[in-house]
Structure 1
Amino acid sequence: MTTTPRQRFSVRAGLSAAIDDGPYDDVPNHLREPLQQWVREELYSGGYAEDGKARLICLRLRFTATARGSYVDTLSAKTGADLLDVVDALLAYRFEQRAVHPTQLTALSEILNEGGSSYRINENLDGSRFWLRILHGHRTGRAWVRP
């Protein structure tokens, strides 16, 4: 369920025009940094970068490491559809490793919901799979981001 945002004070007072509140199909500027931060947090454990996991995700997504050679930096700097691919790949990796962190899933769910994204985490109640899905009623030509 997506949160219906409260109309801004400046709009209610007639000081500015209403803005588009989404849902957004891509990664707009206000969602980019929170999603990149979520990726960084997913790729750190005990204060250390999990560069091996990040390298695996880069290989799966066919991304080349940045000049500095950090796979974590490469993934956390992605934008647009590439960033959505990274988020989806991390969800799949966590499931494969049976290392799903409910706190991280809650944080991602909150970012997507509150930021007006068209995407949500698909959470089968049987725990069989986690991936990004398209919010019902949007982009009707595609049922799933990742089948």
Structure 2
Amino acid sequence: QEFVTLYADFLLNKVVDRQFRAFRRGFNMVTDDSPLASLFRPEELELLVCGSQQYDFMELMKSSEYDGGYSSESPVIQQFWELVHDMSDDDKKKLLQFTTGSARVPVGGLARLKLIIARHGPDTDRLPTAHTCFNVLLLPEYSSKEKLKDRLYKAIKYSQGFGML
């Protein structure tokens, strides 16, 4: 038991001690004699640094825009949002990562994020693609909800970074 405790301490603390001290030194340089130190509670600083943990995709749906012939009334768009609302929290994070490049909710919530869903041609076997720098999801006009679900889940499951795994 002692070995496990010491090994865990080594992996979680000792290995990153030098980096953490450098981070703390830089953080203190910014906040020590700054109004930031008195303006924010620790929870607020955590929110600023880490983002919110509240994944309200209804907010994202309301703030989204459509392009390339899609509108909020387009059948594929309505099917897309039905699928999104039925996703697990883990899959919602993957979708956010896929479309924006970050699985974190921005400060102010998903309502502050402007996602653009653009038509990417007619029904096809291609997967949806995204331009993460611009929060654009390129979504082919799939012929069925089942096909949309299959392609969307493949895209968010197997994509990583700038390429496919």
- TM-score, with structure 2 as normaliser: 0.29
* Higher RCO (Cα < 8 Å, 6 or more apart): 1
The structure with the larger Rg is 2
TM-score (ref. length: structure 1) = 0.31
